[in-house]
Amino acid sequence: MRKKIVAGNWKMNTLPAEGVELAKGVVAGRGEVCSCVNFIVCPPFTHLAMVAEALKGSDIELGAQNCAAEAKGAYTGEVAASMIAALGCKYVILGHSERRQYYGETSATLNKKMEQAYANGLTPIYCVGENLDEREAGKHFDVVKAQIEEVVYNLSEEQFKNLVIAYEPVWAIGTGKTATADQAQEIHAYIRKVLAEKFGAAAAECPILYGGSCKPANAAEIFAKEDVDGGLIGGAALKAEDFLAIGKGFQK
Ligand code: PGA
């Protein structure tokens, strides 16, 4: 049985005190959702210590949105994987399309970040996904395949057992346009096949999340698909009520 995961990517939103309130709201309503759902919140770096405190005593896990490619040293403005792990993070989002697009993150950088994450006991949530031009040109399969081959294929079998993949079509992120449940299933099944080519049967255990305008109104239909194991949620994760309602979308 694969893990069911609903992860909130807060991006660069909320002030620290607002983030604490949001986390408390998630904790307060968590009991209404099946305990089979694993909730993760990923606030900005500045909020991690305070949010960790707010999550204490609950089963909601903490993640960061990024980490440095280096272990430590003279890298002004960077935050090391060891630092976020020390604050209680269990997860780190890596390779989000906004990092690839606006901050020039390449597979070479992401390989180093993945190593840092594993070296510090973190589970990466590795994001893949095509942009609109690539989808319209029918290249989406090749794009995600390359994003997996160039990074995930470098992991050891042991590391691969601690990996979450998020498929996020760039054209669906923050746009209100969601992939249809069938489109999500089609590419999730393909991703699993690409993973199986390298890691064999272990691919059946890897959670693959859908991301991109996922909300309470469409989560149930998407999560019902065989190869969709949950969601990476942006906008809708900023309201505790909506975030929890997405968790209720699990009926399988
Ligand atoms: P969205 O973002 O839910 O606001 O589309 C998802 C993401 O980028 O992780």
Each residue's pLDDT tens digit, 21-37: 999 999 999 999 999 99
Cβ of residue 65 lying under 6 Å from some atom of ligand 1:
no
Q: Whose CA is closest to atom 7 on ligand 1? A: 234
pLDDT class for 108, splitting at 50, 70, 90?
very high
Q: Which of 10-14, 73-77, 176-180 has the lowest mean pLDDT?
A: 176-180
In the numeric block, which tokens belong to residue 209? 């999340």
- 96 annotated active-site: yes
- Which runs of consecutive H residues, i.e. helices, occur in the chain? 16-29, 48-55, 81-86, 97-102, 107-119, 132-136, 140-149, 157-160, 181-199, 216-223, 240-247
Confidence of residue 176 (pLDDT cuts 50, 70, 90): confident
Distance (angstroms) between ligand 1 centre and the Cα of 177 equals 11
Check if 231 has its Cβ closer than 6 Å to any atom of ligand 1. no
> Which atom number of ligand 1 is nearest to the Cα of residue 237?
3
Q: What local confidence, expressed as pLDDT, does residue 1 receive?
A: 83
Q: Where are the domains of the chain?
A: 4-251
Catalytic residue among 96, 98, 105, 140: 96
What pLDDT score does 173 carry?
87
Distance CA 210, CA 169 (A): 9
Cα–Cα–Cα angle for 203, 35, 163, rounded to 5 degrees: 25
Distance 195 CA to ligand 1 centre (A): 24
Instruction: Average the pLDDT over 57-82 and give the result.
Output: 98
pTM of the entire structure?
0.97
Q: Tell me if residue 130 is catalytic.
A: no
**CA 96 – ligand 1 centroid, Å:** 10
Q: What's the DSSP call for residue 2?
A: P
Q: Which residues on adjacent β-strands are paired with residue 8? A: 41, 233
Q: How far, in Å, is the centroid of ligand 1 from the Cα of 44? A: 15
For domain 4-251, the CATH architecture is: Alpha-Beta Barrel (3.20)
Residue position matching structure tokens 């630092």 = 83
Identify the band that residue 252 occupies on the pLDDT scale cut at 50, 70 and 90.
Answer: low
Q: Tell which one of 13, 126, 164, 213 to mutate to probe ligand 1, the residue whose CB is within 8 A of the most ligand atoms.
A: 213
The CA-atom distances, in angstroms, between 155 and each of 15, 111, 113, 124, 200 are 36, 9, 12, 11, 13
Residues above pLDDT 90, as percent of the chain:
96
